[in-house]
Structure 1
């Protein structure tokens, strides 16, 4: 089994020496680093190189779990991806080692926690949207044009024979956007202008 170490610090002022020393002491034969990069973004060049270097039966080693990433869901997905490739994962500070039965059990528990976190976020989002609808709030993107503007634009094109590009420019939209809006039927009811001011 080859041990591949990965170290990361969030700012360029921080020092990687402590992590590198711990990874070398743990027996890592290759080391990859990222400096000045957030743990929230898993698209880091050093991490990508470390993951590419891993072969089946190899192990990715980090000094502490948050050096790999700060999102529990993304951490679980990354380690599960390693498992599917036949690779193992170890975090020195938390003493997590997926090559042991205890380490695998701990990661199963963390995976269940991540799934629970995901479901809670989804439920809160749905509840927030339902509450907004109950208050009469408008959800989604702001319309590019109000109903009155669409009617005026249609009149300018069909009756005044103005070019669609000129009319679109007057309303600050792309000609393709205007053409799409004019194809959609204008629904009766209160004008969006009561909710959104004209551009």
Structure 2
């Protein structure tokens, strides 16, 4: 009898495994993903979770189809931050993709498990609100100290945050997001780095 959650999805089971350093082994994650009969497993080996781009994760996201289930051994193998993880789960929900984290027992193929999408969606919105609030508070504090801020930024934090949300949750490209908000790609990229660093 399997110790892992029962997955009730009709689509493919797509596994994802990651270790942060070359010295670490993927064997335990591979074994667990094989135990739940993953059709395909994508891997990133020796890549930190904080890396902006991960070839295995990027390939998996490009491969996913409606009805698939993404399966990981632990939550921290997928997202590089809680905001990144939250955005990925919102993206899965938007694309009708299920998610299962074996160690935590999170399984959106069950009615109760679907609640996790709502929790992470609310958290992503909360986290972005905090980023905007903290950025604006920092600017106000700088002004109160009499420090000159230079010319106004080409892009404000609220607009950059909305663009960040579209990129991370809907999978649109940075170039497309920049076009939609009327900003240079390089300007938006700088803001994205700032938001991801929070």
- Superposition TM-score, scaled by structure 2 size: 0.66
Q: Distance in 2 between matches of 1:136 and 1:52?
A: 48
Instruction: Tell me what 2:123 maps to.
Output: 113
Instruction: Tell me what 2:45 maps to.
Output: 35
Q: Distance in 1 between matches of 2:68 and 2:36?
A: 14
- Determine which of 19, 24, 33 is the counterpart of 1:9: 19
SS of residue paired to 2:132: helix
Instruction: Tell me what 1:86 maps to.
Output: 96
Q: Is the 8 A contact 1:73 1:111 kept in 2?
A: no
Matched pairs, number: 141
Instruction: Tell me what 1:75 maps to.
Output: 85
Relative contact order, CA 8 A, sep 6+: which one is greater? 2
Q: Distance in 2 between matches of 1:31 and 1:9?
A: 14
Instruction: Tell me what 1:20 maps to.
Output: 30
Q: Distance in 2 between matches of 1:59 and 1:116?
A: 26
Q: Distance in 1 between matches of 2:88 and 2:69?
A: 13
Q: Is the 8 A contact 2:16 2:42 kept in 1?
A: yes
Provide, for residues 168-191 of structure 1, a one-character-per-residue CA deviation record: whole Å limited to 9, x for no partner: xxxxxxxxxxxxxxxxxxxxxxxx
Cα pair distance change 1:100/1:123, threshold 3 Å: same
Q: Distance in 2 between matches of 1:41 and 1:20?
A: 21
Cα pair distance change 1:12/1:87, threshold 3 Å: same
Q: Distance in 2 between matches of 1:127 and 1:9?
A: 37
Q: Distance in 1 between matches of 2:74 and 2:51?
A: 17
> Which structure 1 segments of 5+ residues have no match?
142-199
Instruction: Tell me what 2:68 maps to.
Output: 58
Q: Which has the larger radius of gyration?
A: 1
Offset at residue 56 of structure 1 (A): 1.8
Task: Name whichever of 39-48 and 4-13 sits farther off.
Answer: 39-48
> Which structure 2 segments of 5+ residues have no match?
1-10, 152-198
Cα pair distance change 1:135/1:10, threshold 3 Å: same
Instruction: Tell me what 1:122 maps to.
Output: 132
Q: Distance in 2 between matches of 1:50 and 1:63?
A: 15
- Superposition TM-score, scaled by structure 1 size: 0.65
Offset at residue 76 of structure 1 (A): 2.1
